[in-house]
């Protein structure tokens, strides 16, 4: 009987310790206990429909402009003196900071390319834009601000090649950020990233 009583006390003691340790783990590491679900987002979801419609229907005369020429820039389009309604709408969509407020504070997953803005001593990228296509902001005019996400990531990311696409997961926020390479209308607080495959 004494052995059974001692066993019961030890069993109760171990269950109490297990409960306390579980509670400590939950309090100390809440992010490990709560599975975060990220909504996969397409880039076009981040812009108002009328901006997308305008960009999908550029003015006809733009087809006559050679890629990479002086006329092939947002600045040249902005300097054009006489513009029709279609050109004005297209020009406005190219620099639109209009956002989709329903994504503010949402956990998202989005593919994209990094445009490095800052790096640490180990040459890891610590601040960057995420853009929908390779070369954006570097070799061609930047996408509209509502198609650029700004990221500040103190841990740094080792970027081996600019043409390397990634999946990014994190919390999207509406916030304007201006840089010499472009302007973003959103920021993304990254929780995770991995190579796009």
Torsion angle, CA of 94/53/114/42, rounded to 10 degrees? 160
- Binned at pLDDT 50, 70 and 90, residue 7 comes out as very low
When pLDDT is averaged across residues 167-191 and rounded to a whole number, the result is 97
Residue pair 119/174 in contact (Cβ under 8 Å)? The answer is: no
Percent of the chain with pLDDT over 90: 61
Average pLDDT along the chain: 85
Indicate whether 149 and 181 sit together in one domain: yes
Indicate whether 14 and 86 sit together in one domain: no
Indicate whether 65 and 12 sit together in one domain: no
Indicate whether 75 and 172 sit together in one domain: yes
Indicate whether 28 and 106 sit together in one domain: no
- Binned at pLDDT 50, 70 and 90, residue 14 comes out as very low
Domain ranges, residue 8: 2-33
Indicate whether 82 and 21 sit together in one domain: no
Pairing of strands 182-195, 165-179: antiparallel
Q: What are phi and psi of 6, to 5 degrees?
A: -65, -40
- Binned at pLDDT 50, 70 and 90, residue 5 comes out as very low
When pLDDT is averaged across residues 77-96 and rounded to a whole number, the result is 85
Count of domains in the chain?
Answer: 2
Residue pair 80/61 in contact (Cβ under 8 Å)? The answer is: no
Indicate whether 80 and 155 sit together in one domain: yes
Indicate whether 7 and 83 sit together in one domain: no
Give ∠ CA 160-141-119 in degrees, rounded to 5: 35
Indicate whether 109 and 129 sit together in one domain: yes
The Cα 172–Cα 102 span in angstroms is: 10
Burial (Cβ within 10 Å: 0-12, 13-18, ≥19) of residue 173: middle
Indicate whether 163 and 100 sit together in one domain: yes
pTM assigned to the model: 0.77
Indicate whether 10 and 62 sit together in one domain: no
Query: pLDDT by residue (tens digit) across 91-119?
Result: 999 999 999 999 999 999 999 999 999 99
Number of residues written out for the chain: 197
Residue pair 95/74 in contact (Cβ under 8 Å)? The answer is: yes
What CATH number does the domain containing 142 carry? 2.40.50.870
Among 8-17, 24-33, 81-90, 172-181, the range scoring the smallest mean pLDDT is: 8-17
When pLDDT is averaged across residues 32-49 and rounded to a whole number, the result is 89
């Amino acid at each position: 009987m004494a052995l059974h009583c001692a066993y019961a006390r030890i069993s109760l003691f171990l269950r109490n310790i297990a409960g306390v340790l579980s509670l400590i783990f939950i309090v100390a590491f809440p992010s490990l206990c709560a599975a975060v679900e990220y909504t996969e987002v397409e880039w076009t979801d981040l812009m108002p429909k009328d901006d997308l419609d305008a960009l999908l229907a550029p003015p006809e005369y733009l087809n006559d402009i050679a890629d990479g020429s002086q006329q092939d820039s947002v600045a040249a389009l902005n300097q054009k003196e006489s513009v029709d309604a279609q050109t004005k709408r297209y020009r406005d969509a190219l620099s639109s900071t209009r956002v989709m407020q329903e994504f503010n504070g949402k956990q998202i997953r989005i593919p994209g390319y990094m445009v490095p803005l800052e790096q640490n001593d180990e040459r890891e990228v610590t601040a960057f834009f995420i853009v929908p296509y390779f070369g954006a902001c570097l070799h061609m005019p930047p996408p509209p601000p509502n198609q650029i996400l700004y990221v500040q990531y103190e841990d740094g990311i080792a970027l081996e090649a600019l043409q390397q696409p990634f999946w990014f997961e994190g919390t999207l926020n509406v916030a304007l950020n201006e840089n010499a390479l472009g302007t973003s209308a959103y920021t993304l607080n990254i929780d995770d990233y991995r190579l796009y495959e």
